[in-house]
């Protein structure tokens, strides 16, 4: 799918502080470009993000995805106007030097707050969640070296950190059990958050063999895969979850 035509707005970003509900972000990217995409690609293709040692890029990312990424939240933990997950943007940001993922997140917080005039508050809400944990026998996967590219592999391939795996599982677990082998089931709009409780740090690269069966729901299928192939487990619980509520934001990013 093409990148589409995007309105370009490139700025030099000064190191300014921005107050946010989930912490303070004083760091800022050295140079950042935020482009509003005029041609939308939709939820099946958008929200592609990547990190390097000195930068962050996003292709057709929604503001909801940017906020979730900046505050280390599940998409379901960011609530607000419907357009937050509809409008799409291209982001290219460079730091002055090599930065950690946590430092990059603080820079992204500053960028989102400054360019989108983000106003938000945090609150706790009780909801049903899935918790991703390490299995009793220990994890069967290990982090890859920093900057190591994704490996080609068969089956269901994953490359990312545990929070990204939790994001992926949240969508996967919303897919209903298949009733017609000729018609693939689609993810539901109602997604239950999956919280990363593994304590595993770093980026992981692995492939798993998925063998969904007719009448078998995705929770049972993934529960089996996580335990047998990855040494992880997932449990359904009800509890208090931190939620970031977007009170106000601009659809068109401002230039400074």
| pLDDT tens digits, one per residue of 160-183 | 889 889 988 988 888 876 665 556
Taking the C-alpha atoms of residue 226 and residue 132, their distance in angstroms, rounded to an integer, is 9
Provide CB contacts within 8 A for 107, sequence distance 6+.
25, 27, 28, 29, 56, 93, 95, 99
HSE toward the beta carbon, residue 113, CA cutoff 13 A: 26
Mean pLDDT, residues 221-240 taken together? 92
Structure-model confidence comparison of residues 238 and 239, the more confident one: 238
Provide CB contacts within 8 A for 60, sequence distance 6+.
3, 4, 37, 40, 41, 45, 46, 47, 48, 88, 89, 90
φ, ψ at 118 (rounded to 5°): -70, 130
CB 34 within 8 A of CB 111: yes
- Residue 227 is classified by DSSP as I
> What local confidence, expressed as pLDDT, does residue 44 receive?
62
Q: Are strands 6-12 and 48-52 parallel, antiparallel or unpaired?
A: unpaired
Taking the C-alpha atoms of residue 64 and residue 120, their distance in angstroms, rounded to an integer, is 12
> What local confidence, expressed as pLDDT, does residue 10 receive?
33
The alpha carbons of the chain give a radius of gyration, in whole angstroms, of 19
> What local confidence, expressed as pLDDT, does residue 189 receive?
54
100, 109, 92: which is closest to 58 by C-alpha? 92
Q: What is the mean pLDDT of the chain?
A: 82
Asked if pLDDT for residue 184 goes beyond 70, the answer is no
> What local confidence, expressed as pLDDT, does residue 116 receive?
97
> What local confidence, expressed as pLDDT, does residue 154 receive?
75
184, 193, 174, 185: which is closest to 243 by C-alpha? 193
Q: What is the pLDDT of residues 55-108, one digit of tens each?
A: 999 999 999 999 999 998 888 889 999 999 999 999 999 999 888 888 999 999
Asked if pLDDT for residue 12 goes beyond 50, the answer is no
> What local confidence, expressed as pLDDT, does residue 89 receive?
96
> What local confidence, expressed as pLDDT, does residue 179 receive?
62
Taking the C-alpha atoms of residue 65 and residue 57, their distance in angstroms, rounded to an integer, is 12
Structure-model confidence comparison of residues 31 and 155, the more confident one: 31
């Amino acid at each position: 799918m093409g990148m589409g035509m995007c309105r370009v707005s490139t700025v030099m970003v000064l190191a300014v502080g921005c107050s946010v509900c989930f912490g303070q972000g004083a760091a800022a990217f050295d140079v950042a470009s935020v482009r509003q995409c005029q041609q939308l690609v939709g939820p099946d293709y958008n929200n592609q993000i990547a990190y390097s040692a000195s930068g962050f890029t996003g292709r057709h990312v929604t503001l909801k995805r940017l906020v979730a990424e900046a505050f280390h939240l599940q998409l379901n933990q960011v609530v607000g106007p419907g357009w937050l997950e509809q409008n799409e943007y291209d982001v290219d940001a460079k730091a002055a030097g090599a930065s950690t993922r946590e430092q990059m997140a603080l820079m992204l917080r500053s960028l989102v707050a400054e360019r989108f005039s983000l106003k938000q508050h945090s609150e706790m809400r009780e909801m049903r969640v899935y918790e991703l944990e390490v299995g009793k026998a220990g994890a069967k996967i290990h982090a890859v070296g920093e900057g190591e590219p994704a490996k080609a592999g068969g089956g269901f391939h994953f490359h990312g950190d545990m929070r990204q795996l939790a994001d992926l599982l949240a969508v996967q677990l919303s897919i209903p059990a298949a009733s017609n082998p000729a018609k693939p089931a689609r993810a539901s709009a109602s997604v239950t958050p999956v919280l990363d409780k593994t304590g595993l740090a770093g980026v992981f690269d692995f492939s798993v063999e998925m063998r969904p069966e007719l009448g078998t729901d995705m929770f049972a299928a993934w529960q089996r895969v996580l335990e047998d192939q990855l040494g992880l487990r997932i449990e359904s619980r009800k509890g208090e979850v931190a939620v970031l509520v977007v009170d106000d934001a601009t659809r068109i990013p401002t230039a400074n």
